[in-house]
A = this chain, B = another copy of it.
Amino acid sequence: MSRSIPLEIIDDQEDGRSQRRDAIANRKLILRTAEKLFAERGVHEVNMADIAQAAGVGKGTLYRRFTNKAALCLALMDAQMREFQNTMLERMRTMSANGVSRLEQLMHFLDALVHFTDAHVPLLCEIQREGMVTQDETSLQLPHFWQYMTVNGLLRAAREAGEIAPDLDVDYLADALLAPLKADIFRYQREVRGFSLERISQGLQTLVSGLRVCV
């Protein structure tokens, strides 16, 4: 697999060193506190003032550590996010080695992403709240960017391998396939429409299958 995905999620300021001890301590304290409150009352029901107070810290401090609620939520998912990425990269490497087609890899990726999204809807909703265009905070885009690059890369590879027609608009299709996985749409499908994970995954597979060259 020649395609390289050089993206790492860069957390707020994670130089490691050059951070003052109290800053690092507060960061962890805030994360732990937020995690606890979110678990108790739900992400949406907890506001920033609550978190600051529960952590015994000023609002200014809270906002110095995390630009906004979205950034805080992203930081809370960081570990699992990295793990997901690494697992996926690993699996795709294995699949490639075993001659699994690119489209099948894509389907596998989307299926995994469906489960990952489901497991983190509340946080993801908060992270994506402000929409994609307004969001200046570049790091908030990174998760989506990584997903996009992955799907895009797999489609490109599929195209080169002749699995899909050579004139397909890979750049657009990657976006379109990921659109139903945006947190609020996904949540709507789950909660209002009552779709199961399998059903959603299956539906996405259908769309991917449709790209396959008709033999």
- 10 A-B contacts, Cβ less than 8 Å apart? A131-B184, A132-B184, A168-B206, A172-B189, A176-B180, A179-B182, A179-B185, A207-B210, A209-B210, A210-B211
Instruction: Work out how many copies of this chain go into the complex.
Output: 2
Distance A189 CA – B179 CA, assembled complex (angstroms)? 11
A interface residues, Cβ below 8 angstroms from B: 125, 129, 131-133, 168-169, 171-173, 175-176, 179-180, 182, 184-185, 187-189, 191-193, 195, 199-200, 202-204, 206-207, 209-212, 214-215
Contacts A169-B202, A193-B171, A214-B214 given; does A207 touch B133 at CB 8 Å: no
Distance (whole angstroms) from the CB of A66 to the closest CB of chain B = 22
Secondary structure dominating the interface of A: helix
Distance A179 CA – B175 CA, assembled complex (angstroms)? 10
User: Hey, which chain B residues are within 8 Å of A176, CB to CB?
Assistant: 179-180, 203-204, 207
Most B C-beta atoms less than 10 A away, residue of A173, A203, A212, A215 = A203
Whether B172 pairs with A203 at a CB distance below 8 angstroms is yes
Whether A133 pairs with B187 at a CB distance below 8 angstroms is yes
User: Hey, which chain B residues are within 8 Å of A168, CB to CB?
Assistant: 206
User: Hey, which chain B residues are within 8 Å of A169, CB to CB?
Assistant: 199, 202-203, 206
Distance (whole angstroms) from the CB of A61 to the closest CB of chain B = 29
